[in-house]
Amino acid sequence: MSYVADTYSRFPIRIVKANGMNVWDDEGREYIDTFMGIGVLLFGHNYPVVVQAMKQKMDHYVHLSNFFADDDAEVVAERLVKETGRNGKVFFTNSGAESSECALKVVRKTKKSGKIVSFVKNFHGRTMKSLSITGFDNLRKQFVDEKDVVFLPYDVNVVEEFLEKESDIAAVFIEVLHGSGGLDLIPTKIVELINHYKPIRNFILIADEVQSGLGRTGKFYAYQHFDLKPDLVTLAKGIGGGLPLGGCIMLDDFSDVFVNGDHGSTFAPNPVALAGGRAVLSLINDELLEHVREMGKIFESRFSALGEVRGLGLMRGVRLADETTKKLAKEHFLNQGLLVNIISNGVIRFLLPLNVTVEDIDTVFYRFTATLEKVSSNV
């Protein structure tokens, strides 16, 4: 009997050690982790530079409070803002959901009324308010059904008709690359519509970079692949180096929307997570971003023989073409020493570390195809 709430479909193994892309169970078996804590570990498990930075901070203190400034907070915030090429400030959070909550508070402090637009398959969190803008009916409707939130499909005609007719729009939330929603990209035509109607409707544009940010797609922020200028950017996952840390970046005119007492957090930003974040950011540079783009191309070239490859850089999804693979489950891959994440519509999500090598990708591909062959032979 477990006393832990049964809200996850867990792997039937117990992990006792992890390093790089590999983890080991309590029986000594080795596995390759292809989704890195769902995108949290940008440089793999126990990356020395990140772990050492955390240990050094712990020698000084583990927690203070927001009544004291932490030097790492200033360094991390400055980098996050400067990568946008704009002016701004960061409110630190503990998670992506909290970053969405912060963005929603900025929206409602600025605009007391008006529709909030999200898109079908957007994922912005599981807290009540962040869930209200998450585009999965099965996750949202049993808990919340906000009347001021509209979910639009990736259909150019539907989006254009809505933006043309609806005059009172407070905000638009976008994931330019869906994470949990199946790794599909926002259509360029919809980006053009957002840019056209933004000054007309005067809505706030929020880019959710919780999973896609920090170099994951080969740009520092994924929205930079498009002609977009968000007012707010939400972050989490990889920024803490494995510890809970997130942020809501408030840009230009929205930098000083919050005043003393408007928002707060007991734990965020945790000093140890900030130290990890500073170390993570020190590793992200132009050379690494080029490496991510190149490894993404290699991944696509390998896996495209098996089916449709979605996404950008090292944020990838694979939808298999072979009908027999519909019977695949994560346990099949587990038998070949591969930990995989099967998400929406049967897409298999890969979030390999940013420092992955060609040899690493080839090893993943070998174990992946070995699984397919094994399953096919038993059908």
- Provide the pLDDT for residue 368: 95
Return d(Cα 36, Cα 33) in angstroms, integer.
Answer: 6
Query: Going by DSSP bridges, is the β-strand pair 15-19/338-339 parallel, antiparallel, or unpaired?
Result: unpaired
With beta carbons less than 8 A apart as the criterion, state whether 73 and 269 touch: yes
- Provide the pLDDT for residue 341: 93
- Provide the pLDDT for residue 328: 80
Q: State mean pLDDT over 232-248.
A: 97
Question: What is the reported pTM?
Answer: 0.95
- Provide the pLDDT for residue 323: 67
Higher pLDDT, 329 or 349: 349
For the chain, the three-class secondary structure string (H helix, E strand, C coil) is CCCCCCCCCCCCCCEEEEEECEEEECCCCEEEECCHHHHCCCCCECCHHHHHHHHHHHHHCCCCCCCCCCHHHHHHHHHHHHCCCCCEEEEEECCHHHHHHHHHHHHHHHCCCCEEEEECCCCCCCCHHHHCCCCCHHHHCCCCCCCCEEEECCCHHHHHHHHHHCCCEEEEEECCECCCCCCCECCHHHHHHHHHHHHHHCCEEEEECCCCCCCCCCCCCHHHHCCCCCCEEEECHHHHECECCEEEEEEHHHCCCCCCCCCCCCCCCCHHHHHHHHHHHHHCCHHHHHHHHHHHHHHHHHHCCCEEEEEECCEEEEEECCHHHHHCCHHHHHCCCEECEECHHHCEEECCCCCCCHHHHHHHHHHHHHHHHHHHHHC
The pLDDT confidence band at residue 6, using thresholds 50, 70 and 90, is confident
**Which residue ranges make up each domain of the chain?**
15-46+285-378, 49-283
- Greatest pairwise CA separation for the chain in angstroms: 64
Q: State mean pLDDT over 3-28.
A: 93
Q: State mean pLDDT over 89-108.
A: 97
The mean pLDDT value of the chain amounts to 95
- Provide the pLDDT for residue 225: 97
- Provide the pLDDT for residue 325: 63
- Provide the pLDDT for residue 379: 56
Give the CATH number of domain 15-46+285-378.
Answer: 3.90.1150.10
Q: State mean pLDDT over 92-111.
A: 97
Return d(Cα 91, Cα 247) in angstroms, integer.
Answer: 5
Q: What percent of the chain has pLDDT over 90?
A: 87
- What is the strand order of the sheet 338-339 is part of? 15-19, 22-25, 30-33, 338-339
Q: How far apart are the first and last CA of the chain?
A: 34
Note the pLDDT tens digit of each residue in 180-195. Answer: 999 999 999 999 999 9
With beta carbons less than 8 A apart as the criterion, state whether 281 and 310 touch: no
Of 304, 306, 349, 308, give the one whose Cα is nearest residue 330. 349
> Which residue is associated with the tokens 């570990």?
41
Query: Which CATH number applies to 49-283: 3.40.47.10, 3.90.76.10, 3.40.640.10, 3.30.70.120?
Result: 3.40.640.10
Of 198, 285, 280, give the one whose Cα is nearest residue 238. 280
Tokens of 255: 């930098």
- Provide the pLDDT for residue 377: 80
Note the pLDDT tens digit of each residue in 32-91. Answer: 999 999 999 999 999 999 999 999 999 999 999 999 999 999 999 999 999 999 999 999
Judged against a pLDDT cut of 80, whether residue 312 lies above it is answered with yes
- Provide the pLDDT for residue 281: 98
With beta carbons less than 8 A apart as the criterion, state whether 3 and 306 touch: no
